[in-house]
Amino acid sequence: MNLPSGFKFSGVSCGIKASGKKDIALITSDVPAVAAGVYTQNVVRAASIDWNRQITPTDHLSAIIVNSGNANACTGEEGFRNNQKMAFETANAIDCTSGQVCIMSTGVIGQQLPMDLVAKGIKRAGNELGSGDSDFDSACEAILTTDKGTKTAFRSFEFEGETVRLAGMAKGAGMIGPNMATMLGIVVTDASLTPPVAQDILKRVADKSFNCISVEGHTSTNDSLVLMANGQSPAPMKHWKALHAFTDSLTELCVELATQIPADGEGASHLISIKVSGAENDADADTVARSVAMSNLVKTAVAGADPNWGRITSAAGLTSVRFEPDELCLSINGSSIFEKGQPVAFDEQKLSQSMAENFEAKVEIRIGSGAGEAMHWTSDLNEAYVKFNSLYTT
What is the spatial distance between Cα 2 and Cα 357, in angstroms, rounded to a whole number?
34
Distance, CA of 140 to CA of 110 (rounded, Å) = 24
Rounded to whole angstroms, the Cα distance separating 77 from 153 reads: 37
Quick one: CA dihedral 37, 41, 44, 50, positive or negative?
Answer: positive
Measured between alpha carbons, how far is 225 from 183 in angstroms, rounded to an integer?
8
Active site residue 251: no
The CA distance from 8 to 138, in Å, is 11
Q: In 219-256, which positions are buried (b, 16+ CB within 10 angstroms) versus exposed (e)?
A: bbbbbbbbbbbbbbbebebeeeebbebbbebbbbbbbb
Cα–Cα distance measured from residue 103 to residue 227, given in angstroms and rounded to the nearest whole number: 13
Return the SS3 of 196: helix
Q: Give, in order, the Cα–Cα distances in Å from 50 to each of 54, 65, 107, 221, 254.
A: 6, 15, 17, 11, 23
- Amino acid identity of 253? L
- CA 32, CA 37: separation in Å to the nearest integer? 16
Q: Active site residue: 145, 146, 182, 189, which one?
A: 182
Residues involved in catalysis: 182
